[in-house]
Amino acid sequence: MNNWERLVWNQRDALLAGLQVTIEVCFISFACAIVGGLVLCLVRMYVRPLRPVATFLIEFFRATPILVQLLWVNYAWPEIFGWPTSFYQAACTALALQSSGYLAETFRGGIEAVPRGQREAAFAVGMSPLLVFRRIILPQVLLGSAPAIVNQFTVIVKSSTLVSVITVQDLMFQSQKIVNIAYEPIEILTATAALYIAFIYVVSMIGKLLADRLRRSYGIAAH
């Protein structure tokens, strides 16, 4: 039995368990990031008194490295806010916060890119501002930002490799555990790296397809 079999194939249960945790964490963070990004964006653009707060938060989440955020949320927040109560929660929170910052700016660009004339046409047929936002602006922003949103998902997947640092049992954690036990890192780490690269490659291809499809069908350029 060669090393590949012994270290990778026979450990596939542990690795798959790790992969499952990784995917869960990524999707939860992704969903929260989209909501968070929208909220931050809307507050920044339309809630005048809270504008500086929202702007500060957006810039703060974008400027701090993900590792710093992970450690900060994990160790500092429980003492201040009493939450998060688990490493898993801390990981999802930190990943979501970082991506909300980027998505907030993406959404803002998208909203500003909708031509003014479309709003005017909507007002002219008697649509209320809320209706205009819901039916005209938001769909176009989401459609136009779809490639950037998918790209942010790849960022989350890449950042998720660090959650093993706060002992969340993701794929990296499981791989490193096997390495620590077996002392033979070549096969397992190479397999892990290949797995991540392949997964992210597929996601980015989906993003590219989305962008093409958008441009062809709707004439909306991705931004």
Identify the helix (H) or strand (E) that includes residue 33. Answer: helix 12-46
Q: Give the residue, chosen from 51, 158, 213, 223, that forms a contact with other proteins under the rule CB under 8 A.
A: 158
Reference 92, options 20, 24, 38, 149; nearest CA is 24
Residues in contact with 120: Cβ distance below 8 Å, sequence separation at least 6, in sequence order? none
| Nearest approach, Cβ of residue 181 and other proteins (Å) | 14
CB atoms within 10 A of CB 113: 14
Alpha-carbon distances of 79 from 28, 71, 87, 124, 165, rounded to whole Å: 24, 13, 14, 53, 19
For other proteins, the closer CB: 39 or 189: 189
Exposure letters 187-206 (e unless 16+ CB within 10 A, then b) = bbbebbeebbeebeeebeee
Reference 26, options 153, 127, 182, 143; nearest CA is 153
When asked if residue 181 is in the footprint of other proteins (CB under 8 A), the reply is no
Q: Tell me, by CB under 8 A, how many residues bind other proteins.
A: 62
When asked if residue 58 is in the footprint of other proteins (CB under 8 A), the reply is no
The pattern of x and - marking residues 197 through 216 that bind other proteins according to CB under 8 A reads x--xx--x------------
When asked if residue 69 is in the footprint of other proteins (CB under 8 A), the reply is yes
Contact between 188 and 8 (Cβ < 8 Å): yes
| Nearest approach, Cβ of residue 50 and other proteins (Å) | 19
Near other proteins in 96-155, by CB under 8 A: 115, 117-118, 120-129, 131, 135-136, 139-140, 143, 154
Residues that bind other proteins (CB under 8 A): 59-60, 62-69, 71-72, 75-76, 79-82, 115, 117-118, 120-129, 131, 135-136, 139-140, 143, 154, 157-159, 161-162, 165, 172, 176, 179, 185-186, 189-190, 192-193, 196-197, 200-201, 204, 217-220
